[in-house]
Structure 1
Amino acid sequence: MSTAPAKADFLLTTGQSLWTLARRWWWLLAAFALVYGQILVDLVREWWTNDDYSHGFLVPIAVAYLLYEKRHELAEIPPATSWFGFIAILLSQVVLLVGYLGAEFFLQRTSMVLFIGGVVLFMKGWRYLGAVFFGLVLILLAIPLPAIIFNAVALPLQLLASSWAESFLRICQIPVYRDGNVLQLSTQLLNVTEACSGIRSLMSLVTLAMMLAYFLPMRWWARLAFIATSVPIALAANAFRVGGTGLMARWFGQEAAEGFFHSFSGWVVFVVAFVILLSELMLLQRLAGKRSNSE
């Protein structure tokens, strides 16, 4: 039996529903575009130009999938109004104003999330907000941190990556001396810069782990363990990459280590870390299944 007509009917119905919503709330969409249009454009541009937040392009897809998966649950939630939502909307505009006056993009962008949450709460109520709350969390994860916080996090990660890479090189019998975030080999000097801190892979891997933990059926303890272990996996993978760069510099020279290998290794190591994360996911699901069977 062909499912093509059913799919066509579903797409047609969905398109009509979206068009109906757009006509009903056109004034709200227009207000959002007027206030946050340029902010949203600048955010997408930063996703494109800043590799640390390139995972931001996955967020709209994940949020759309979340709304699709919960479409029946959302339809059954009775409409309600909460004036706390109106307060949140007003607060979002105060945060936006402070962000404009202080030229702080982080405040401007987070005010957008607060505005969306306030609108949902004001027009649909607490239950509806709770159902879509994870989508707002994902949007927050795609907003670049302010420089003062980013630098405060990046520096310790640089030192950690340097320390772990030093241990890796010593295990490989490579003479190395570490001074802060600088690795001194016999004839080469490797500086573990901010780009090598691992914060890029850390943000991306944690975001992916949160998506998988939310959308896949897992016990609560398995979700927490899965998300928590994504942090050391990302850090260890980055340290391995830095150590591998040291090996390349030792064997083939510093130019080889800083050329194509340096960029390509970042992708390879991230893929390996993601595969490890998926392997852990399957293990946790198996353990959860055995535990439920024993109970």
Structure 2
Amino acid sequence: MSLSSLPMTGNNGARQKLLGYLAILLSILVLFVPVFYDLFTTVWNNDTQSHGPIVLGIGIWFFYFKTKQILEKPQAFKPSPILGWFLILIGASIYIVGYSQSVYIFSILSLVLILCGVICLLFGLQIAYKYWFALFFFIFLMPWPASVIDILTQPMKIAVSYAADHLLYALDYPIARSGVILQIGQYKLLVADACAGLNSLFTLEAIGLLYINVINHQAFWRNVLLAVLIVPVSFTSNVLRVCTLALITYHMGDEAGQGFLHNFSGMVLFLTALILIIVIDSVIQKIAEKFNIKSLLSQD
């Protein structure tokens, strides 16, 4: 069934689209601008959760990207009011608890449920399904409790410290390691959560999954393989960032290592990860073509 076969066509159909997307936008503005303001001024204002604004920006762009894709083709609107109102009410209940108690995990979860409910209410379950990854992507915004972050990041920080220590030692730099503390020359560097923690892993995983979804390879196992390889890509990028900061500190002093170049190295981290993902994807394509591995060949 195409859009032209529905009773609501022409100007009425365009008006429904416009009103629908305005309703989605207003739901974000009215309910969630205060939530994001609180996140910007509290949770996201520290190193351990600093990935939040990056993920938010990417998520908004991808939502726009997916909307543009959907509007390029005629769509059949089959509103699902019962499911839509159910999701909205559940989301609103979670929102009230999350916002009143500053439990931001609940607030972000309510955003996903309310957006999904509004889409189902106005456009139907079929359209909502097309937004599944855009909605799922907002899960990466959830700020996890510090206790959970400490437990999950400690092994990664130790592994990154170990790899950076051995890499710089192999390059003849005077470096030693004690746990997650690196001493290079007269400087001591603490490998913190921001440099090798859950926040960077979440952000890199989000960027990698975004790349997979935008490229949209039709080969299922290729997408699975890329998703799995994002973890070692994240590890490698974190090692390179720590090595870069160590070298900046060693050659230019502690002030340079903790100043603008420290923050700039974070952008280099994400750029490096994205380049590595693209390179790995290209290598997989070459290998699949050479050995005719159909499960890895892209059919798009």
Which residue identity lines up with residue 222 of structure 1 in the other structure?
Answer: R
Conserved 8 A contact 1:248-1:256:
yes
Q: CA deviation at 1:33?
A: 4.3
Name the CA shift for 1:20/1:126 in 2 (closer, same or farther; >3 Å). closer
Q: CA deviation at 1:133?
A: 0.8
Conserved 8 A contact 1:63-1:138:
no
Distance 2:71 2:288 in 1: 28
Unaligned runs of 5+ in 1: 1-13
Secondary structure in 2 matching 1:173: coil
Aligned to 2:225: 225
Q: CA deviation at 1:63?
A: 1.1
Distance 1:28 1:256 in 2: 44
Distance 1:16 1:87 in 2: 27
Unaligned runs of 5+ in 2: 1-9
Aligned to 2:152: 153
Conserved 8 A contact 2:35-2:99:
no
Aligned to 1:5: none
Aligned to 2:293: 291
Secondary structure in 2 matching 1:89: helix
Name the one with the larger helix percent.
Answer: 1
Distance 1:128 1:163 in 2: 47
Q: Deviations over 1:81-102 (max 9, x none)?
A: 2634433222212211221342
Conserved 8 A contact 1:52-1:199:
no
Conserved 8 A contact 2:24-2:115:
no
Distance 2:230 2:151 in 1: 21
RMSD: 3.5
Conserved 8 A contact 2:80-2:123:
yes
Residue 71 (str. 1) matches residue 71 (str. 2): yes
Name the CA shift for 1:235/1:85 in 2 (closer, same or farther; >3 Å). same
Name the CA shift for 1:288/1:53 in 2 (closer, same or farther; >3 Å). farther
Name the CA shift for 1:126/1:286 in 2 (closer, same or farther; >3 Å). farther
Which residue identity lines up with residue 278 of structure 1 in the other structure?
Answer: I
Which residue identity lines up with residue 203 of structure 1 in the other structure?
Answer: F
Residue 197 (str. 1) matches residue 199 (str. 2): no
Name the CA shift for 1:125/1:165 in 2 (closer, same or farther; >3 Å). same
Aligned to 2:240: 240
Residue 166 (str. 1) matches residue 162 (str. 2): no
Q: CA deviation at 1:107?
A: 1.1
Residue 58 (str. 1) matches residue 58 (str. 2): yes
Question: How much identity, in percent, do the aligned residues show?
Answer: 21
Distance 2:23 2:267 in 1: 43
Which residue identity lines up with residue 265 of structure 1 in the other structure?
Answer: S
Name the CA shift for 1:192/1:28 in 2 (closer, same or farther; >3 Å). closer
Which structure 1 residue ranges, 4+ long, deviate > 6 Å from structure 2?
14-18, 24-29, 44-48
Name the CA shift for 1:287/1:111 in 2 (closer, same or farther; >3 Å). same
Distance 2:183 2:256 in 1: 17
Name the CA shift for 1:272/1:23 in 2 (closer, same or farther; >3 Å). closer
Name the CA shift for 1:103/1:170 in 2 (closer, same or farther; >3 Å). same
Which residue identity lines up with residue 179 of structure 1 in the other structure?
Answer: S
**What TM-score do you get using the length of structure 1 for normalisation?**
0.77
**What TM-score do you get using the length of structure 2 for normalisation?**
0.76
Aligned to 1:4: none
Residue 281 (str. 1) matches residue 281 (str. 2): yes
Aligned to 2:118: 119
Residue 36 (str. 1) matches residue 32 (str. 2): yes
Q: Deviations over 1:140-197 (max 9, x none)?
A: 2234444444444333332232122122233223454322211234532211122222
Distance 2:89 2:169 in 1: 57
Name the CA shift for 1:252/1:108 in 2 (closer, same or farther; >3 Å). closer
Which residue identity lines up with residue 110 of structure 1 in the other structure?
Answer: L
